[in-house]
Chains A and B, each alone.
Chain A
Amino acid sequence: GEDVEQSLFLSVREGDSSVINCTYTDSSSTYLYWYKQEPGAGLQLLTYIFSNMDMKQDQRLTVLLNKKDKHLSLRIADTQTGDSAIYFCAESPSYNTDKLIFGTGTRLQVFP
Chain B
Amino acid sequence: DVKVTQSSRYLVKRTGEKVFLECVQDMDHENMFWYRQDPGLGLRLIYFSYDVKMKEKGDIPEGYSVSREKKERFSLILESASTNQTSMYLCASSLWDRGRGEQYFGPGTRLTVT
Cα distance, A44 to B105, chains bound together (Å): 7
Residues of B within 8 A of A40 (CB): 107
B42 near A105 with CB under 8 A, answer yes
**Given the interface contacts A98-B50, A102-B42, A104-B41, does A42 sit within 8 Å of B90 by beta carbon?**
yes
Number of chain A residues whose Cβ lies closer than 8 Å to a Cβ of chain B: 26
Residues of B within 8 A of A99 (CB): 33, 45, 48, 58
Which bracket fits the contact residues of B? 20 to 34
From A30, A41, A43, A94, name the one whose CB has the most chain B CB atoms within 10 angstroms.
A43
Taking the complex as formed, is B31 at the interface, i.e. its CB lies under 8 A from any CB of chain A?
yes
**Given the interface contacts A44-B105, A98-B31, does A92 sit within 8 Å of B99 by beta carbon?**
yes
Taking the complex as formed, is A55 at the interface, i.e. its CB lies under 8 A from any CB of chain B?
no
Taking the complex as formed, is B81 at the interface, i.e. its CB lies under 8 A from any CB of chain A?
no
Cα distance, A50 to B43, chains bound together (Å): 22
B99 near A102 with CB under 8 A, answer no
Which of A8, A43, A92, A98 is the one whose CB lies under 8 Å from B105? A43
Against B, the Cβ 8 Å flags (1 = close, 0 = not) of A83-112 are 000001000111111111011110000000
**Given the interface contacts A88-B43, A102-B43, A105-B42, does A95 sit within 8 Å of B99 by beta carbon?**
yes
Residues of A within 8 A of B98 (CB): 95-96, 98
Against B, the Cβ 8 Å flags (1 = close, 0 = not) of A70-94 are 0000000000000000001000111
B107 near A41 with CB under 8 A, answer yes
B60-106 with Cβ < 8 A to chain A: 90, 92, 94, 96-103, 105-106
A residues at B contact (CB < 8 Å)? 4, 6, 8, 30-31, 40-45, 48, 88, 92-100, 102-105
List 29 interface pairs A-B (beta carbons < 8 Å), by A numbering. Answer: A30-B99, A30-B100, A31-B99, A41-B107, A42-B4, A42-B105, A42-B107, A43-B43, A43-B92, A43-B105, A45-B102, A48-B100, A48-B102, A92-B99, A94-B99, A95-B99, A98-B50, A98-B98, A98-B99, A98-B101, A99-B33, A99-B58, A102-B42, A102-B44, A103-B42, A104-B40, A104-B41, A104-B42, A105-B42
